[in-house]
């Protein structure tokens, strides 16, 4: 009986540990040359069913908005703000306010001005928070490096 109880407890703990590792958002990156000295980088988030991330334009007092910080470089400069598609907006009773969010997938775009003819990659960090109907995960910082190719 004690052995069965120990096995049950170990199984329960391992399932609990597995549940803590849920990562419902996957990020992918790409770049497209749009001129002799200009590139547009694409930062794509794909969310598991039921999960969403927030717009860059959430008001203070709400969830953590998605944000992008591009590393300072002598090789390139971001041009203007990072662009996002129109977010779904609804009243969130947890935050007691209207919030904009994306579910399933979203592609953010950033124009980059190249200072050199050959730049290997655009680097930086993004921050986002993901929630479903039951819970929110801690905000997460993700480092990215987007190869520019030739």
Give residue for tokens 């928070």. 129
Query: pTM of the entire structure?
Result: 0.83
Answer whether residue 45 is part of any domain.
Answer: yes
pLDDT value at residue 119:
82
C-alpha dihedral sign at 7, 10, 14, 19: positive
pLDDT for res 3: 45
In a domain, 80, yes or no: yes
The pLDDT of residue 21 is 54
Say if 82 falls within a structural domain.
yes
Q: Which domain holds residue 55?
A: 24-147
pLDDT at residue 100, as a whole number = 97
Return the CATH number at 90. 2.60.40.1250
Count of domains observed in the chain: 1
Name the average pLDDT for the chain: 87
55-71 residue pLDDT tens: 999 999 999 999 999 99
Low-confidence ranges of the chain (pLDDT < 70): 1-21, 150
């Amino acid at each position: 009986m004690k052995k069965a109880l120990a096995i049950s407890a170990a199984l329960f703990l391992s399932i609990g540990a597995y549940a803590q590792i849920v990562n419902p958002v996957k990020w992918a990156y790409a770049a497209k040359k749009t001129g002799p000295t200009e590139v547009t980088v694409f930062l794509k988030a794909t969310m598991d069913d039921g999960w969403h991330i927030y717009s860059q334009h959430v008001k203070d007092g709400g969830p953590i908005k998605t944000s992008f910080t591009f590393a300072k470089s002598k090789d390139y400069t971001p041009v203007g703000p990072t662009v996002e598609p129109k977010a779904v907006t609804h009243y969130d009773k947890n935050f007691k306010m209207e919030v904009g969010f994306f579910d399933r997938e979203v592609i953010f775009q950033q124009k980059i001005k190249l200072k050199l003819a050959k730049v290997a990659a655009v680097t930086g960090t993004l921050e986002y928070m993901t929630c479903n109907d039951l819970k929110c995960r801690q905000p997460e910082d993700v480092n990215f490096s987007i190869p520019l190719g030739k």
